Structure 1
Amino acid sequence: MIFIFTGTSGSGRKTVARKVCEQLGIKKIVSYTTREPRSKEVEGTDYYFISRAKFIADDLKGEFFQTAEIDHIFYGTKKVNVQAIVDENESAYLIVNRSGANRIKFEFKEQAVRLFIYVQKQTVRERLEARGESFEVIEHYMQHYTEEVTYRKDCEHVYENIDLSHTLELVKQTMEEHLLPQTTE
């Protein structure tokens, strides 16, 4: 099973994904990006941070399963990372935007489930400000909030992250249900 975490910026989806999947022993499929690491991000854990030239070269070689360009920054998931999980018949998770979520869902159908995490627009603003994002970056996220949050109607599971511990419990329950062996009648 591939668990796809997606949702609005500042929703806490990365925190929710990491905490729940650590509890359940589910591996992360680490994505690649051309942006600089944030202060607490770790190479190979949060992302693989690579140059724009390397990303483009790898993309031209067909190494990426899915890519996205957001604000002139590339993000992508390599085929080899996804295929390794599928070949081993294991469960894994990744954190992607809606186009990545759609691509993975399309490819893996019932073997992939989208978990959409969101918070109200004002909460996004407050969290981005607390994270130290610039005014321009915050305004950019605010302009795209409605478009982002509308995607929740396409996802199998939706959670408003009002209280982190409650959200963690709900997401964990959902994931455990998907991990149970499926019985046929």
Structure 2
Amino acid sequence: MTTKRIFVITGPTGSGKTTVSHYLRSQYQIPQVITHTTRAPREGEVSGRDYYFETPTSFATKHYLEHVTYSGNQYGSSREGLAAAWERSPLISIVLDTAGAITYARELGEQAVVIYLEVA
């Protein structure tokens, strides 16, 4: 059985986190974990592809490794989202801020491979 791993991509704004995540998906078929939010979808966004768009009530039913409130909306990554991504591949990725990356390292131990990007 293949060990499940998650590449946790973190670093300052503008360091290329999303670009690296897209590269992993396009070149190596490593899916990105879909996270949850209570904000309304923007034009072209699709629930289950870009985010899981939740109501405040449904958001509260998930089991989050990390979550934040930003501009009055809730955002978080759940154990349910991890399980769904791992059903597709034993190697997955997620883009997180540094605090979220620390949480993943603490909660998932060796399953979390933290990649810190920095612009030189």
Aligned to 2:104: 104
Q: Deviations over 1:123-166 (max 9, x none)?
A: xxxxxxxxxxxxxxxxxxxxxxxxxxxxxxxxxxx332x8xxxx
Match in the other structure for 2:46: 42
Contact 1:26 1:91 in 2 (8 A): yes
- Larger RCO (CA within 8 A; separation ≥ 6): 2
Alpha carbons 2:12, 2:118 under 8 Å: kept = no
Q: TM-score, normalised by structure 1?
A: 0.52
Structure showing greater Rg: 1
Structure 2 regions of 5+ residues with no counterpart?
Answer: none
Percent identical residues: 29
Q: Corresponding residue for 1:80?
A: 80
Alignment of 1:90-169 (within 5 A): 90-116=90-116, 158-160=117-119
Tell me the C-alpha RMSD between the 2 structures: 2.7
Query: Which 5+ residue runs of structure 1 have no aligned equivalent?
Result: 117-157, 163-185
TM-score normalised according to structure 2 size: 0.75
Once the two structures are TM-superposed, the CA of residue 52 in structure 1 deviates from its matched residue by: 2.3
More strand, by proportion: 2
Secondary structure of the structure 1 residue equivalent to 2:67:
strand
1:68 aligns with 2:72: no
Does the CA-based 8 Å contact 1:68-1:99 persist in structure 2? no
